[in-house]
Amino acid sequence: MSLNAFITETDIEGDGDGVLDGKTVAVKDNISTEGVPTTCGSRMLEDYEPPYDATVVERLTDAGATIVGKANMDEFGMGTTTETSYFGPTKNPVDEDHVPGGSSGGSAAAVAGGEADLALGSDTGGSVRAPAAFCGVVGIKPTYGLVSRYGLVAYANSLEQIGPIAPTVEEAAELLDVIAGPDENDGTTRAEGADSDYAGAAEGDVDGLTVGVPRELLDGADERVVDRFEAALDDLRAQGAETVDVELPSCEYAVAAYYVIAMSEASSNLARFDGVRYGNSGGFDGNWNETFAESRSEGFGDEVKRRVLLGTYALSAGYHDKYYKQAQEARAWVKQDFDEVFEDVDVVASPTMPVLPPELGESLDDPVQMYLADANTTPVNLANLPAISVPAGEADGLPVGLQLVGPKFGEETIVNAAAAVEA
């Protein structure tokens, strides 16, 4: 079975005998590995080899893990299917005619297909949780600031976090224990997580747990997905949890706000890839403007170009207040809604993805539909909250994921609840 889960195969052995001794790990190809290509799934960085390891990579090897490859991904993390990669699409190991989700599709496919024990992905708007749901594994998007982003090639700095993907909740939590905690190289990290025991929280004791269900995140979802979601809620209630309907009215605007903010930040971050500072050069013929344009035209794929153009437009004079400023106001509203909901509930539950995994090629001609598929995941990134996707069964032979969202630094709560779903 050739899943095309890896861009580069490696054999980076751990130098310790820690909790990951003997475990193999796939690392998403936007996370820096010293002397090993880190391409971000792009022709632009096809030959780039970082001179240093990301903090999370150092923590993996210190814990004894062996890194077996750099996992395929949507180009620069821009996609929900892992089909925008310059190195070709990754296939879903559950059904090779379907996408594995994205943008960390290679990471999830490697774990689900048995090509790695564990994996790291990055999550800007759902890029760990979407492929975890589509491939039938577990993925955690940590609270913003829990895990160092030092060495992560930036897409949208204010939104993204590195997160674990694993076959089980406990294994995902164990990997989170390894990578969490403050880092002097990343000023956004916080002290929370330094002495964590997330794996120990995977007890599945939900007696008395209150689960909020925002019906806004069920509107328009595939009925087969909703059926599996409701069955998972029934299981939680049978184990002693209470479910209550809650309201998150701001979620109606979350996707639009997310894409304005993410594309704007991408426009700024990707400006450095001009063939001179970073990236493959289109050649210099004496005209810098033409050289930059040629390098970026050849180096970036269609989806990256689309997002950079839209982000540049949103930040341009005369449009900044109309788009970017309003998107930030909507983001504040999303945060406020979640804060109010968490005054009354312990976790918020929804389907991770509102649809089943599409067939390969189905989403490429309709980027708007691909963006809308992020409706349940993007609010979490806007609010900088933790969330986990845990398998909730299958529909028509394809995996369905349940998403559990917690308050800031509430990873132990969502890990515990997810363990109950898994059990």
The shares of helix, strand and coil residues in the chain, as percent rounded to the nearest 5, are: 35, 20, 45
Residue 312 and residue 134: Cα distance in Å, rounded?
A: 32
Range list of H helices, 198-253: 223-238
| Predicted confidence (pLDDT) per residue in 225-262, tens digit | 999 999 999 999 999 999 999 999 999 999 999 999 99
pLDDT, position 80: 96
Parts of the chain with a pLDDT under 50: none
Q: Give the containing element (helix H, strand E) for 25.
A: strand 24-28
Residue 72 and residue 219: Cα distance in Å, rounded?
A: 32
pLDDT, position 286: 65
Work out the burial of residue 8: count CB atoms within 10 Å of its CB; fewer than 13 is exposed, 13-18 middle, 19 or more buried: middle
Whether 23 and 64 have beta carbons less than 8 Å apart is answered as yes
Strand runs (DSSP E) across 63-183, as ranges?
Answer: 66-71, 118-123, 138-141, 161-166
pLDDT, position 285: 67
Q: Give per-residue burial for 383-417: e unless 16+ CB within 10 Å, then b.
A: bbbbbbbbbbbebeebbbbbbbbbbbbbbbbbbbb
What are the residues facing 401 on neighbouring strands? 391
DSSP, collapsed to helix, strand or coil, labels residue 334 as helix
Kindly state the tokens that stand for 148.
Answer: 């160092």
Residue 325 and residue 295: Cα distance in Å, rounded?
A: 31
pLDDT, position 276: 84
- What are the catalytic residues? 28, 103, 127
Residue 2: cis peptide before it, omega within 30 degrees of 0: no
Query: What's domain 6-249+334-422's superfamily in CATH?
Result: Amidase signature (AS) domain (3.90.1300.10)
Whether 334 and 44 have beta carbons less than 8 Å apart is answered as no
Work out the burial of residue 313: count CB atoms within 10 Å of its CB; fewer than 13 is exposed, 13-18 middle, 19 or more buried: middle
